[in-house]
Amino acid sequence: MRAVDQEGVQWEVTRQWLEVPRWRVGRPRLEDAVEFSWYADLDLAGVVIWLALVVIVFVLFLVGLPLLVLLAAVLVAIGGLVVRVVFRRPWLVEAKSEVGERRWRVRGTLGSRRAMHEIATAIERGDQGFSPRGAIPISA
């Protein structure tokens, strides 16, 4: 949902049902590299077998891995939604713009939808200190 405040700044009001942690992956060090010399003693049959294995592994990674990742993502999404609705976990409602960001926790699907409308209306009115009914503000 979009709202424009009285100064002309456009705000995006959304709710998130699944919060994904941001992981940081480090770069591998050169010292960790391993030197391979196992290929020096291969004959033609060994090379053919190794090439066939490489092709099979490549096809599995090219086709099978994306399918597994897609299946896992769908299961996590469905599971997250079921847990969110059944256990009445609070939704994260956010209002973002280039000026800033505000966040609230709101319990219930209908409550979060109502809060989104209230936030958008308050932004359009110019009420910066507004907090929807039943919402818990979160520091950004």
Task: Give 86-139 pLDDT, tens digit per residue.
Answer: 887 888 888 888 888 888 888 888 888 899 999 999 988 888 778 888 888 886
Task: For residues 95 and 70, state if they share a domain.
Answer: no
Domain annotation covers residue 57: yes
Query: What pLDDT is attached to residue 52?
Result: 92
Domain annotation covers residue 101: yes
| Chain segment 8-56, per-residue pLDDT in tens | 888 888 887 666 655 655 665 555 555 555 555 567 777 788 889 999 9
Q: How confident is the model at residue 72 (pLDDT cuts 50, 70, 90)?
A: very high
Greater confidence (29 vs 6) lies with 6
Task: For residues 81 and 93, state if they share a domain.
Answer: no
Domain annotation covers residue 133: yes
d(CA 2, CA 124): 10
Task: For residues 68 and 92, state if they share a domain.
Answer: no
Task: For residues 78 and 48, state if they share a domain.
Answer: yes
Query: To the nearest 10°, the Cα dihedral for 116, 117, 118, 124?
Result: 110
Domain annotation covers residue 116: yes
Domain annotation covers residue 32: no
Task: For residues 64 and 96, state if they share a domain.
Answer: no
Query: What pLDDT is attached to residue 36?
Result: 53
Task: For residues 79 and 94, state if they share a domain.
Answer: no
Model-level pTM?
0.53
Domain assignment of residue 117, given as a range:
2-17+88-138
pLDDT at 4 over 70: yes
Domain annotation covers residue 128: yes
Query: What pLDDT is attached to residue 54?
Result: 92
Domain annotation covers residue 35: no
How many domains, in total, are found in the chain?
2
Task: For residues 124 and 100, state if they share a domain.
Answer: yes
Task: For residues 68 and 79, state if they share a domain.
Answer: yes
Residue 106's nearest CA partner among 86, 123, 124, 84 is 84
d(CA 16, CA 92): 5
> Which parts of the chain fold into alpha helices (H)?
44-59, 65-86, 109-125
Task: For residues 132 and 93, state if they share a domain.
Answer: yes
Domain annotation covers residue 34: no
d(CA 21, CA 18): 10
